[in-house]
Structure formats: C-alpha cells, structure tokens
C-alpha cells in the first residue's frame, strides 16, 4: 500500500567559497542549494533538489514557490506514479509561470519535487534509484571534472582533478581568443593518453565570434564545445557554427520542455545534449528525453553543478539510460555537494561506482549542513 505524504520541507543552504567559479557570464562567489524532503505516513523520506545556481539570491524564492504552489498538491496524497503527478502539475503550473513571467523558476521547483517523489518511491520499493528508473546495468559510470576556471588556474585544476581520479576535464573559455588559447595550450601539452578535454562558453559568443573561434579551436582535439551561442539563437546560427566546428557542439542546460529538446534533436546541431534534471523535468520528463537523445545517436550527458542531491540524481539517471555519455561533476569546492556525496561516491580512473542502498543511496546529513542553513520551509498534511 502506498502511504500518503504528510510533510513537505525545503532547506536553503548557502556556503561561502574562497575562489569564485568564473564563467563567460559572471562569477559565483558563494554556493547555494535548495534541498527538498518529502515524508510519508510510514516515515519514509525522499530527497530532491531545485536548481538555483544563478542568480544565487533566487534560491529562497524557489524554495517558497515549492512551498506555496507544489507542496499543497503533494500533501495528503498517496502518489505511486510520479510521472503522472509531474504531468498533472506541469499543466497546472504552466499558466502561473507565464503570468509570473518566470516559467523557469516554477519548472525548477517542480523538477526538485519530482526527484524527491521518485526517491521516495524507490526507497519504498527498496530499490536503488537507477533500478527504479528501469536501469539494468550496474557498471561504473564515466564522469568528468567540470567548472575548471580559465587562465593559469585551468592547468592547476586539471592536475588536481587528475590526482582526484578524473580523466576528462571541462574548462571555461569565452574570454577572448588570446586568453582562451593561452588557457588551453598548456593543458593539452600536459594531457595524458586516454584523457579528454571539453570547453564551455556558457552562451558567451555572438555568431561571428563563434564561427571564427570554433575554427581556431580545431588545433585542439576537443571532446565537445559547449554553448558557443545563446540557447535561444535561431537554428541557422547553430547550424553555421556546427558546420564550422571540428568538435561536436553541446547544449541543453538552458533548454526547457520536451518540445525544445525534440526540436534540438531534429535540427541536428548538437552531438551532446545536456538536460539538467533539477532545472526542468525532474526524472519524470528527463528520462524520456534522455532516451530520445541516445536513440538519436547523440550523447546524453546530464548537466549538473549544484548540491549533492541533484548530483546523485543525475548519476542515477545516466546509469539508467547509459549510452556514451559522461556525468558532469563539479571540481570546485562546495560543501553542499561534498557533504552529501563523499560518503558514497569516489572517482577512480574517470568513473564512479553506483552507490548501494535504496533511492539515492544516502540521505543528506542535516546536522552537518546546519551551519549553512538559511531558510527552512515546512508544511504538514
Ligand atoms: Mg555549461
């Protein structure tokens, strides 16, 4: 029997960091995470996370959107079919998101709730999340070190990430040709056999620059070039850049909705597609999109650069879907990630083993996170 949900909580955490994470649109001087917990009448809990990297001041707002608009739709209900709940709530939130002028914030709040619901269901079924998602392969999952800063920091961070077990590295560029090439040359000069490098422009180039820069970048055997253009530039611009580039293009963290992903697949500009399950779709809508990505011959590489709950959810999604994709793992210090994942994940030879145990494989230690907690919302049935 499926128990009804009796409590819905959101935890907003903020952690200052010593070295900002730099990208082409700005810098992150602190790390935030919005964790969600749903608890049922039997005392089983499921955890989710709402994307809130940018702007970080929006984290509390997203937690409050969850508390005001989504928690009341969960409480008192016995939900055995998270995908049905996601579809029903996505329809309900659609007009509110439009009216508010912020469909993305509503979508992220629902994505986090959906992940918590799946985790709750998997724990009730005593299944690891990847198996609950329909996965059959328990082999380790390939990963890459992400968020590596430009300039001299890039080489130092690659060396650190290599020492931590990584074999693939993604570096932030988009700071001008001279600086970008100076960032990448020493990294490639020191690369070892079997290692890979990707670059991320974070939507930082206009068409002319993008078309020129992807040709300059042909001197490096890049695994992919991420978001050379803004996500909403027309298909012909993406086609022009893809045609000029030796490396496949990647994008997806700034696409929202099944239709946008299917349009991107049909337009054929991307070799790597990167939905963020905490930003849109949760697991319910990401799983079918991810399967469409691999079925179309592209790589599904979950986007993720937040806290530990979303990191684990992304791992389980990739483990369930497989294909040739890699899991994005932020290489920058972030206690909101490491306090959650370090007990269950260890990178070795560019891979992580799947955590054992039901659901995500662990639960956030609230006592350890307490010093970062800035807001907790709680609603009971
Ligand atoms: Mg990116």
The larger pLDDT score, comparing residue 232 to residue 17, is at: 232
Tokens (6 digits) for 119:
């985790």
- Taking the centre of ligand 1 as the mean of its atom positions, its distance from the CA of residue 244, in whole angstroms, is 20
- Taking the centre of ligand 1 as the mean of its atom positions, its distance from the CA of residue 225, in whole angstroms, is 10
Domain 131-352 is in which class? alpha beta
- Taking the centre of ligand 1 as the mean of its atom positions, its distance from the CA of residue 87, in whole angstroms, is 27
Residue with tokens 């890039």: 154
User: Is domain 5-126+367-380 in CATH 3.30.390.10, yes or no?
Assistant: yes
Neighbours of ion ligand 1 (CB under 5 A): 200, 226
- Taking the centre of ligand 1 as the mean of its atom positions, its distance from the CA of residue 212, in whole angstroms, is 20
CA distances 296 to 132, 229, 337, Å, are 24, 22, 32
- Taking the centre of ligand 1 as the mean of its atom positions, its distance from the CA of residue 305, in whole angstroms, is 9
Q: 309-342: string of b/e by CB count within 10 Å (b at 16+)?
A: bbbbbbbbbbbbbbeebbbbbbbbebbbbebbbe
What pLDDT shows up at residue 2? 87
- Taking the centre of ligand 1 as the mean of its atom positions, its distance from the CA of residue 8, in whole angstroms, is 31
- Taking the centre of ligand 1 as the mean of its atom positions, its distance from the CA of residue 231, in whole angstroms, is 11
CA distances 80 to 49, 70, 74, 86, 292, Å, are 20, 17, 12, 12, 25
- Taking the centre of ligand 1 as the mean of its atom positions, its distance from the CA of residue 10, in whole angstroms, is 26
Q: pLDDT tens across 290-314, in order?
A: 999 999 999 999 999 999 999 999 9
Q: What angle separates helix 308-321 from helix 286-295, to the nearest 10 degrees?
A: 40
- Taking the centre of ligand 1 as the mean of its atom positions, its distance from the CA of residue 226, in whole angstroms, is 6
- Taking the centre of ligand 1 as the mean of its atom positions, its distance from the CA of residue 1, in whole angstroms, is 42
CA 216, chain centre distance (Å): 29
Q: What value does the mean pLDDT take over residues 320-341?
A: 97
Sign of CA dihedral 340, 114, 93, 74: negative
- Taking the centre of ligand 1 as the mean of its atom positions, its distance from the CA of residue 106, in whole angstroms, is 21
Residues of each domain in the chain carrying CATH 3.20.20.120: 131-352
Q: What value does the mean pLDDT take over residues 214-238?
A: 98
Q: Among 24-38, 199-213, 250-264, where is mean pLDDT lowest?
A: 24-38
* Confidence band, pLDDT 50/70/90 cuts, at residue 169: very high
Residue with tokens 């879907």: 321
Asked if 162 and 144 count as a contact pair (C-beta separation under 8 A), the reply is no
Q: Is the pLDDT of residue 368 over 90?
A: yes
What pLDDT shows up at residue 293? 98
What pLDDT shows up at residue 29? 84
Percent of the chain at pLDDT exceeding 70: 100
Q: Give 267-293 as a 3 state SS string.
A: HCCEEEECCCCCCCCCCCCHHHHHHHH
- Taking the centre of ligand 1 as the mean of its atom positions, its distance from the CA of residue 197, in whole angstroms, is 14
- Give the integer Cα–Cα distance in Å for 32 and 183: 28
Asked if 223 and 197 count as a contact pair (C-beta separation under 8 A), the reply is yes
- Taking the centre of ligand 1 as the mean of its atom positions, its distance from the CA of residue 52, in whole angstroms, is 14
- Taking the centre of ligand 1 as the mean of its atom positions, its distance from the CA of residue 23, in whole angstroms, is 9
Q: Is the pLDDT of residue 1 over 80?
A: no
Mean pLDDT rounded to a whole number for the chain: 97
What pLDDT shows up at residue 19? 82
CA 377, chain centre distance (Å): 23
Q: What angle separates helix 207-216 from helix 235-244, to the nearest 10 degrees?
A: 20
- Give the integer Cα–Cα distance in Å for 294 and 326: 12
What pLDDT shows up at residue 28? 81
- Give the integer Cα–Cα distance in Å for 165 and 254: 29
Dihedral in degrees, nearest 10, Cα atoms 288, 293, 294, 300: -100
- Taking the centre of ligand 1 as the mean of its atom positions, its distance from the CA of residue 76, in whole angstroms, is 38
Q: pLDDT tens across 107-157, in order?
A: 999 999 999 999 999 999 999 999 999 999 999 999 999 999 999 999 999
Residues 6+ apart with CB under 8 A from 379: 7, 8, 9, 67, 71, 72, 75
Percent of the chain at pLDDT exceeding 90: 96
Query: Which ranges of 280-356 does DSSP label H, i.e. alpha helix?
Result: 286-295, 308-321, 335-341
Q: What value does the mean pLDDT take over residues 336-349?
A: 97
pTM, two decimals, is 0.97
- The values of phi and psi at residue 93, to 5°, are -80, -20
Residues 6+ apart with CB under 8 A from 329: 143, 144, 145, 146, 166, 304, 311, 347, 352
Q: pLDDT tens across 49-72, in order?
A: 999 999 999 999 999 999 999 999
């Amino acid at each position: 029997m499926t128990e009804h949900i009796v409590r819905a909580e959101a935890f907003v955490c903020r952690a200052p960091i010593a070295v900002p994470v730099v990208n082409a649109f700005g810098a992150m001087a602190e790390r935030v995470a919005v964790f969600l917990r749903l608890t049922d009448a039997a005392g089983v809990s499921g955890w989710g996370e709402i994307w809130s990297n940018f702007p970080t001041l929006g984290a509390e707002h997203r937690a409050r959107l969850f508390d005001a608009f989504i928690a009341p739709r969960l409480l008192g209900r016995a939900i055995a079919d998270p995908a049905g709940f996601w579809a029903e709530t996505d329809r309900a939130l659609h007009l509110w998101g439009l009216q508010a002028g912020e469909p993305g914030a509503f979508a992220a709040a629902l994505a986090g709730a959906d992940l918590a619901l799946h985790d709750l269901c998997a724990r009730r079924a005593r299944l690891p999340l990847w198996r609950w998602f329909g996965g059959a392969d328990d082999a380790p999952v390939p990963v890459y070190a992400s968020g590596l800063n430009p300039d001299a920091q890039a080489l130092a961070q690659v060396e650190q990430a290599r020492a931590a077990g990584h074999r693939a590295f993604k570096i932030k560029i988009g700071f001008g040709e001279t600086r970008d090439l100076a960032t990448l040359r020493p990294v490639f000069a020191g690369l070892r056999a079997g290692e890979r490098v990707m670059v991320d422009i974070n939507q930082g180039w206009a068409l002319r620059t993008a078309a020129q820069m992807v040709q300059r970048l042909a001197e490096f055997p890049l695994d992919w070039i991420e978001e050379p253009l803004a996500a909403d530039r027309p298909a012909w611009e993406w086609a022009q850049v893809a045609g000029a580039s030796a490396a496949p293009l990647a994008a997806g963290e700034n696409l929202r909705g099944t239709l946008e992903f299917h349009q991107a697949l049909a337009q054929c500009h991307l070799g790597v597609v990167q939905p963020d399950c905490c930003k849109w779709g949760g697991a319910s809508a990401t799983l079918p999109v991810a399967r469409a990505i691999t079925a179309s011959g592209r790589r599904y590489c979950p986007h993720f650069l937040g806290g530990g709950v979303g990191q684990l959810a992304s791992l389980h999604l990739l483990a369930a879907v497989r294909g040739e994709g890699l899991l994005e793992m932020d290489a920058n210090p972030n206690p909101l990630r490491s306090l959650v994942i370090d007990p269950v994940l260890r990178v070795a030879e560019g891979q992580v083993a799947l955590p054992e145990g039901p659901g995500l494989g662990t639960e956030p230690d609230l006592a350890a996170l307490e010093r970062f907690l800035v807001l907790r919302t709680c609603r009971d049935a």
